[in-house]
Amino acid sequence: MKRKVHEKEVRKKIIKTARQLFLEQGFHQTTIRQITQKSGISTGTLYHFYQDKEDIFFHIADETFLKVIEKSEEMVPDHRIFLRLVCEVAVHIQAFLSGKNMAELYAIAYGSYNISEEVMRKQHDRIAGLLEMQGLKAQADVEFISLTVKGFLHALALKSMHGEELDPQLIIPQAARLLLTLFNIEEEKQLEIIQRLEALPIYVNVM
């Protein structure tokens, strides 16, 4: 039992240190050696838990996307599914517009087949489950919607990473309209959801 607790703590230390370095200096500028030195562990110990830097980032990305879901559920705890979904998109956008290194991390995550496939699989299952509970299972193709939104967010993250200034007050409503249109939500209802979205505290730390 003690060994399992120790291993869990070591994993957490590696992830925490790598996340900090990625945010401070960027993913590509961070080395395994820097992570081990700052974590106070040996290279062998790190490789016992993670295959490489990309594997570490995979776990960070997975945790980040789950955290966004949790934050959105806290902000929209009731049955307003579409408000919760656009809230998630808004939190992601706000996150990668917060700085160049954060935008780089999002761009890498969206551009990675393994990471994006895992995230989209979980997202597909969750959204399909939410819609089914509301009797909306056949209303839209969830996989197509997920792919479209992923492509949109990836493009925005790349723009932000390369220094293009993007106004979240303009981008977030546009992203919300895209998502709601894909779900075949009527325009009047879209406006209502976007107004509710704008009243939410979406400036949250997801890393």
pLDDT digits (tens, 9 = 90+) for 75-97: 998 888 899 999 999 999 999 99
- Domain holding 40, by residue range, is 1-50
Residues near 140 by Cβ (< 8 Å), separated by ≥ 6? Answer: 131, 182, 183, 184
- What pLDDT is stored for residue 195 in this prediction? 95
CATH number of the CATH domain containing 189: 1.10.357
- What pLDDT is stored for residue 93 in this prediction? 95
Mean pLDDT of 99-127: 88
- CA 168 to chain CA mean position, Å: 16
- What pLDDT is stored for residue 140 in this prediction? 61
- What pLDDT is stored for residue 151 in this prediction? 93
- What pLDDT is stored for residue 3 in this prediction? 60
Mean pLDDT of 150-178: 94
- Length in residues, the chain: 207
Coil, strand, or helix at residue 193? helix
| Whole-angstrom distance, CA of residue 68 vs CA of residue 64 | 6
Phi, psi (deg, nearest 5) at residue 188 = -60, -40
Q: Given a cut of 90, is residue 41 above it in pLDDT?
A: yes
Residue 5's pLDDT band, with cuts at 50, 70 and 90, is low
Computed over its alpha carbons, how large is the radius of gyration of the chain? 18
The answer as to whether 23 is a domain residue is: yes
Question: Do 78 and 179 belong together in one domain?
Answer: yes
Question: Do 89 and 139 belong together in one domain?
Answer: yes
Residues near 137 by Cβ (< 8 Å), separated by ≥ 6? Answer: 128, 131
| Whole-angstrom distance, CA of residue 182 vs CA of residue 16 | 37
Question: Do 61 and 152 belong together in one domain?
Answer: yes
Residue 177's pLDDT band, with cuts at 50, 70 and 90, is very high
The answer as to whether 204 is a domain residue is: no
Question: Do 46 and 82 belong together in one domain?
Answer: no
Question: Do 151 and 57 belong together in one domain?
Answer: yes
Q: Given a cut of 80, is residue 199 above it in pLDDT?
A: yes
Question: Do 44 and 130 belong together in one domain?
Answer: no
- State how many domains the chain has: 2
Kindly state the tokens that stand for 137. Answer: 């299972």
The answer as to whether 205 is a domain residue is: no
Taking a C-beta distance cutoff of 8 angstroms, is the pair 151, 100 a contact?
Answer: no
